[in-house]
Structure 1
């Protein structure tokens, strides 16, 4: 019986932030089975072929399918000392495990197995040319391989990792098709950071509160796997890349303390630590999945993506402070507020009251 992937809307950036332009799942789907709205994603069972590419594309794991049991695959692979093979179901190749499409194996899963020195062989890539999933599947395979190569390049012990081998096609199989570089580049543009540059040039109106739906923060399996892989690298600085589910931010002086980025973050990577003396915006690197919704939501464009992260920072489990603003009591109403300068003694409400009174009565 055919079943579509399960959609967990509380994890979806489009559900959490009404104006999110994220379309990763839709762009990865080769069957036009996904439609998007500010409620999230809807999957058409009549079109869905259960390839799992939408699941692999989603950074927040809003889509999940039991046909891609990552944890079970990792356990099976770890128990096979003589090597482990994975095949795509459409190719009908024999293997230790089968999945709907090899493109559904993302970079973190492959990097984790490589770092654990699992002798991994992938079978069925020769079938992409005739496979209905092949238009996206082949590009997704290449995208994941780019991610693994990037991690290994950053690790000074990368030569001790195992290689990921693609099995040769049977004699009666068609010759493997060349990677569609145009589509591969499209994935890099869609899955990469183009949204950040576009937003900086687009004037935006203040975001209404109803545009944000609050939900409990979640963690993802892939981000946890990446953290394990991260611990196996031994470099002082790690270059970040769009093939990996993570980002690192700094905050510039345009931040107006609206806290919108914290409210839309689906993993709790951005947080607040507030006392009577100070207001602090914090960031926990090991929870960030690089979904970009915080950048989309930030109206003054105060969040700036960093290109690298020190290894020591990457392994820290405690949040770091991105912005720290002192607080003081209003001399009139005695409420705590964040002054723009030490000379300010009135909170914004009292200052506005003075302006309104002056406008009405002179």
Structure 2
């Protein structure tokens, strides 16, 4: 099968494996330690990844979702099948969804290779729709320390996002087989047929059709779980009188920020935006559902204007303004400059000005040396001409003596 036929078949058959958005990968940015999380946690890492951000063959991939969940920059796009599989329980008939791994002996609604393969965003979305029971009975015998660490990180992040009271109300961690016994909801024949007829309109298909991962919107394709979580938070905010608060990590901008735009340029997820307001001020706007909390903006700021990633309490995951300031512009090029700048020019223009001054000084010195050399040459030429004239005068023959002139009438 040629490569073009293979690509066409993958498009037609709806790829059943993740994809990598390489421009957003952690390893493609300077001043970063090498990240190999996706390659390390993948059961077929050596066969799939030639490098952490470069795939040589997707054929061994089982679409388990471990690489999607562990990616710190969220540059690995989950497959359409994974999105459907992870979010479908939100529209089930049961009030509680049981989630477990393949090694579990109990009957679970959602079975994955590892419970940690579900990203914390997907679990948070499900928790805002249903009560969740995480079957952790096989975790005590699991020898995969990377999966265990990822599961702990996801649970910690869920507590931070939902808050401890809401987390305890929506999650049950079943460490023993007798914890949280499975209870399936019995449906009558009428309810069953009603559910089957309504599922195509108001069920899973209608829900997933709204996700950007199933559309052609390249701007929103890379964060389908966060987008779904944002939409659910938006629905709950409009449906409740007192909205819930959610913990989200956002870059902490300080008063040192002067709007250079370096963070906006380095944020490949498009979560940071600088907006100029009519009153002459500029504000920093962050879209939390796009932010992958990777911290690239922190490391890219050369002026230490971002004090790390801080946990903030928000009622929605939509755009939020985190800082307002007035820009100081360079008088030469118009770019933003720090407020403490005394000469009123940016570093680039300052270097250019210094370069021009050095060039002008060098040109002046060159003209002075040229004038000095010309004067020296004139002096040397005058001296040479004087010497030549003296030599010519010395070598000329002496004039013959004149004959005496006799008086008139004097005999000779």
TM-score by length of 1: 0.63
- Give the secondary-structure state (helix, strand or coil) at the position aligned to 1:315: coil
Compared with structure 1, are the counterparts of its residues 64 and 271 closer, same or farther at alpha carbon in structure 2 (3 Å cutoff)?
Answer: closer
> Is the Cα–Cα contact under 8 Å of residues 279 and 327 in structure 1 kept in the other structure?
no
Compared with structure 1, are the counterparts of its residues 358 and 84 closer, same or farther at alpha carbon in structure 2 (3 Å cutoff)?
Answer: closer
Q: Give how far 1:80 is off.
A: 2.4
> Is the Cα–Cα contact under 8 Å of residues 88 and 98 in structure 1 kept in the other structure?
yes
- Give the secondary-structure state (helix, strand or coil) at the position aligned to 2:141: coil
Aligned partner of 1:136 in structure 2 is 146
Aligned partner of 1:210 in structure 2 is none
Distance 2:154 2:27 in 1: 26
Gaps of 5+ in 2: 1-14, 179-217, 362-412
Q: Give how far 1:270 is off.
A: 0.9
Distance 1:148 1:345 in 2: 47
Deviations 1:330-360 (A, max 9, x none): 3xx6x53435458756666665454334334
Aligned partner of 1:326 in structure 2 is 327
Aligned partner of 2:297 in structure 1 is 294
Q: Give how far 1:251 is off.
A: 3.3
Distance 1:235 1:360 in 2: 64
Aligned partner of 1:110 in structure 2 is 123
Structure 1 stretch displaced more, 266-275 or 15-24: 15-24
Aligned partner of 1:304 in structure 2 is 307
Q: Give how far 1:261 is off.
A: 1.7
Q: Give how far 1:49 is off.
A: 6.3
Distance 2:40 2:243 in 1: 34
Distance 1:165 1:235 in 2: 29
Aligned partner of 2:223 in structure 1 is 220
Equivalent of residue 273 in structure 1, options 275, 290, 294: 275
Map 1:230-269 → 2, pairs under 5 A: 246-253=249-256, 255=257, 257-269=259-271
Distance 1:65 1:236 in 2: 28
Aligned partner of 1:283 in structure 2 is 286
1:13 equivalenced with 2:25 (yes/no): yes
> Is the Cα–Cα contact under 8 Å of residues 32 and 47 in structure 1 kept in the other structure?
no
Q: Give how far 1:71 is off.
A: 3.9
Distance 1:54 1:285 in 2: 22
Distance 1:164 1:251 in 2: 39
TM-score by length of 2: 0.56
Q: Give how far 1:290 is off.
A: 0.3
Gaps of 5+ in 1: 170-214, 241-245
How many pairs does the alignment contain? 300
Distance 2:94 2:228 in 1: 20
Compared with structure 1, are the counterparts of its residues 59 and 70 closer, same or farther at alpha carbon in structure 2 (3 Å cutoff)?
Answer: farther
Distance 2:342 2:310 in 1: 37
Distance 1:62 1:347 in 2: 34
